[in-house]
Amino acid sequence: MQTTELSPLELLHKNNSSDFLPLKGTDHVEFYVGNAKQSAYYYQAGWGFELVAYAGPETGLKDRASYVLQQGKVWLVLTTSFDPESEISQHVRKHGDGVKALALWVDDAEKAFEATTSRGAVAVHPVKTIKDQWGEVKLASIKTYGETIHTFIERKNYTGAFLPGYQPKASAFKAESVGLQFIDHCVGNVGWGEMNTWVKFYEEVMGFKLLITFDDNDIGTEYTALMSKVVSNGNGYVKFPINEPAEGKKKSQIEEYIDFYGGAGVQHLALATDDIIKTVTELRKRGIEFLQVPETYYEDLLSRVGKIDEDIADLKRLNLLVDRDEEGYLLQLFSKPVEDRPTVFYEIIQRKGAKSFGKGNFKALFEAIEREQALRGTL
């Protein structure tokens, strides 16, 4: 029987036919840190990641060490340098532990580099091919906000643990997964008046589309404010909200981040789970700290979000946040910063149809952040 209807996959390909930067998803996120060995243990013991690969002096790398951690499709790389003058050490001195690279998985690194640099992206390094006994990987990098970079990774001819040069490595510590599945979105904080510059960068240079705009009326409390726009790539696998500070009676949380980070950078990674109650119960048991909303948040919750599957007592016990849009609802929770500097933190998110970002929770959430800022003396 003939049919003219396209399957969802064909539709996806058709919609992406004009996508000059097809992305298969986030490949990994690389942090530059002061002590990768200890950070790796934190992510295993606290967050349920598994150590899968390593590169360092024992594998022939003389000046640094990198630990690769995996949970579901989330891959984190923690890199530290032994040379105080290196770019890695300078990054850590200036920013503290923070995200250096948001690596994007592509079919063709050469094309990705060419497509973006020809549209104005600043090259960090052109395509290079690296090899070991498990095959080869092509990679190239471009700059984005602050000192953050995007690395395009083409790994179709590679079967090793992570990238050429890395050896498989297991830990004596058997970390049990907390159910984190993939990176839902990754948020950047940029300086005053820079949000639109970076939105334009993602639109024109990376071929992303503007999904949502929040102004300071959406995201303001009595005291502080910020503005945010969310951009997404063609297939929707990669979403980057970009925040900038807005004027309020007191200091914006984005301004606080920029003061402590020493410029623009990654603010949070949102990690998806399909059972947030189980995930957050486990994370709390392991000592991960989260922002706290007041009890009153739950008083009118059901009248705001309507019927939900979860037991409100569980939500209250774990201090989970809920929001609804036209397509469904979502549950989310935000960690406290995972460094002493109030910079990078994590969001745990479970989507039940909703494709939005929890706008209904902004006020309660930002008031929780303000209480933390007040404790730090930075409000």
Residue 290 beta carbon to Fe ion: minimum distance, rounded to whole angstroms? 14
Of 101-109, 256-264, 266-274, 366-374, the segment contacting Fe ion by CB under 5 A is 266-274
256 φ, ψ to 5°?
Answer: -60, -45
Rounded to a whole number of angstroms, the minimum distance from the CB of residue 67 to Fe ion is 25
Give the Å distances, CA to CA, from 93 to 81, 87, 343: 11, 10, 14
Sign of CA dihedral 47, 53, 58, 59: negative
Smallest gap from residue 331 Cβ to Fe ion (A) = 13
Residue 341 to residue 96: CA distance in whole angstroms: 7
Residue range at the interface with Fe ion (CB under 5 A); choices 113-121, 224-232, 263-271, 319-327:
263-271
Torsion-angle region of residue 178: left (phi > 0), alpha (psi -120 to 50) or beta? alpha
183 near Fe ion, judged by CB under 5 A: no
CB of 161 to Fe ion, least distance (A): 30
Q: Could you tell me how many residues of this chain bind Fe ion (CB under 5 A)?
A: 2
User: Which CB atom, from 147 or from 347, has the smaller least distance to Fe ion?
Assistant: 347
CB of 170 to Fe ion, least distance (A): 32
Q: Which of residues 151-170 bind Fe ion (CB under 5 A)?
A: none
State how far the Cα of 345 lies from the Cα of 348, in Å rounded to an integer: 10
Closest to 220 in 3D by CA, of 253, 179, 188, 262 = 253
Rounded to 5°, the CA angle 93-375-368 comes to: 100
Cβ 269 to Fe ion shortest distance, Å: 9
Residue 347 within binding range of Fe ion, rule CB under 5 A = yes
Q: Is 54 exposed, middle or buried (0-12, 13-18, 19+ CB in 10 A)?
A: buried
Angstrom distance (rounded) from CA 117 to CA 122: 6
Which one of the spans 257-265, 287-295, 315-323, 343-351 is the region binding Fe ion (CB under 5 A)?
343-351
**270 touches Fe ion by CB under 5 A:** yes
Adjacency order of strands within the sheet including 321-325: 209-214, 225-232, 239-246, 182-189, 265-272, 345-352, 328-334, 321-325
Considering the complex, what minimum distance in angstroms separates the CB of residue 357 from Fe ion? 6
Sketch the per residue contact string, 291 through 310, with Fe ion: x for CB under 5 A, - otherwise: --------------------
For Fe ion, give the closer residue by CB, 101 or 219.
Answer: 219
At residue 88, φ and ψ (nearest 5 deg) are -65, -50
Residue whose tokens read 């995200």: 99
List binders of Fe ion among 218-257 (CB under 5 A): none
Residue with tokens 């592509």: 106
Q: Report the residue number, 68 or 270, with the smaller CB distance to Fe ion.
A: 270
Instruction: Closer to Fe ion by CB, 195 or 270: give it.
Output: 270
Which span sits near Fe ion by CB under 5 A: 21-29, 256-264, 282-290, 339-347?
A: 339-347
Pick the piece of the chain touching Fe ion (CB under 5 A) from 36-44, 143-151, 210-218, 344-352.
Answer: 344-352
30 binds Fe ion (CB under 5 A): no
Closest separation between CB of residue 253 and Fe ion, Å? 13
Distance from C-alpha of 257 to C-alpha of 344, rounded to nearest angstrom: 8
Cα 95 from Cα 89, distance rounded (Å): 10
| 61 versus 364: smaller Cβ distance to Fe ion | 364
Binding interface with Fe ion (CB under 5 A): 270, 347
